[in-house]
């Protein structure tokens, strides 16, 4: 079972570009609305000024959310994919020991799995929740940069 494919890097880059395009579109709508309120304001401009202030504050909060959560997550995922797919794959046989608490790796939540590989306990990260492993069973692992990218049932022959 393969967890990380080359196509996922392209999909992550495309998502990052799409998010940035959406932000630029929202910014253009904000600028158009602010200029419209500015040019429509008559001498009694207080309601237009209040509308412009509310619009500016809401756009500021949107920008803060966008760059600290949504876009930041997309950038971190792209960096992690680049790091993972540029590393050389290690193919090993390992016996599954246990699963530790989930941690964040480069800003992305990951499961931590412990395997006994050649008599040494090694922890690897897994970003997929779709797999369940049996304790004591031997698996064929493909590990890149400490991240489990492929897993198959297997026995050393």
What string of pLDDT tens digits covers the 157 residues of the chain? 677 777 888 888 999 999 999 999 999 999 999 888 888 877 767 788 888 889 999 999 999 999 988 899 889 988 888 888 888 989 999 999 998 888 887 778 888 899 999 989 999 988 877 788 889 899 999 999 888 888 888 765 4
Burial 88-105 (b: 16+ CB within 10 A, else e): eeeeebbbbbeeeeeeeb
Q: Is 3 helix (H, G, I), strand (E, B) or coil?
A: coil
Residues 6+ apart with CB under 8 A from 115: 92, 94, 95, 96, 97, 121, 122, 123, 124, 139, 141
Please compute Rg for the chain using Cα positions: 24
Beta carbons of 87 and 145 less than 8 angstroms apart? yes
Q: Which two tokens stand for residue 81?
A: 């994919």
Phi, psi dihedrals of residue 97, rounded to the nearest 5°:
-100, -60
CA distance 43 to 53: 17
Contact 102, 110 (CB under 8 A): yes
What is the reported pLDDT for 22?
94
């Amino acid at each position: 079972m393969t967890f990380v494919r080359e196509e996922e890097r392209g999909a992550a880059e495309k998502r990052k570009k799409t998010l940035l395009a959406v932000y630029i579109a929202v910014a253009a709508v904000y600028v158009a609305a602010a200029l419209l309120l500015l040019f429509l304001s008559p001498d009694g401009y207080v309601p237009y000024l209040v509308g412009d202030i509310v619009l500016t504050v809401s756009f500021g909060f949107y920008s803060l959310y966008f760059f600290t959560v949504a876009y930041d997550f997309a950038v971190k995922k792209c960096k992690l994919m680049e790091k993972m797919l540029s590393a050389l794959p290690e193919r090993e046989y390992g016996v599954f020991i246990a699963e530790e608490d989930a941690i964040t790796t480069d800003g992305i939540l990951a499961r931590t799995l412990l395997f006994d590989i050649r008599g040494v306990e090694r922890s690897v990260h897994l970003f997929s929740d779709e797999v369940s492993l049996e304790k004591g069973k031997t698996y064929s692992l493909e590990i890149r940069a400490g991240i489990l990218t492929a897993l198959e049932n297997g026995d050393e022959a």
